Amino acid sequence: MTHYSIVFNTTTGSKRSIQVRNPNPSLPIEEVSAAVVKILENDVFDPEMGSLESFGSIVLTTTERTTII
């Protein structure tokens, strides 16, 4: 399984994160960055928990499993 973990900083000093599962591997990083900007512009999280202030990090994780028995 592959997913992006995207972390944002909030106005309350906390962090908010989302996971995007099974991303398109051929998608250029510029398009991924543009999507992150759209999320910041539209502040998709509950403002009572802190409005999105800035981008923190993005990590691409790939997990491989092998069944033994």
pLDDT at 65: 87
Q: How confident is the model at residue 50 (pLDDT cuts 50, 70, 90)?
A: confident
Instruction: Check: CB of residue 53 under 8 Å from CB of residue 8.
Output: yes
Q: Looking at the 3D structure of the chain, how many domains does it have?
A: 1
**CA pair distance 40, 36, nearest whole angstrom:** 6
Q: Let me know if residue 23 belongs to a domain.
A: yes
**DSSP-derived secondary structure for 2-33:** EEEEEEEEETTS-EEEEEEES--TTS-HHHHH
Task: Tell me the H-state helices in 1-69.
Answer: 29-42
Domain that holds residue 54: 2-62
Q: Let me know if residue 69 belongs to a domain.
A: no
31 pLDDT more than 90? yes
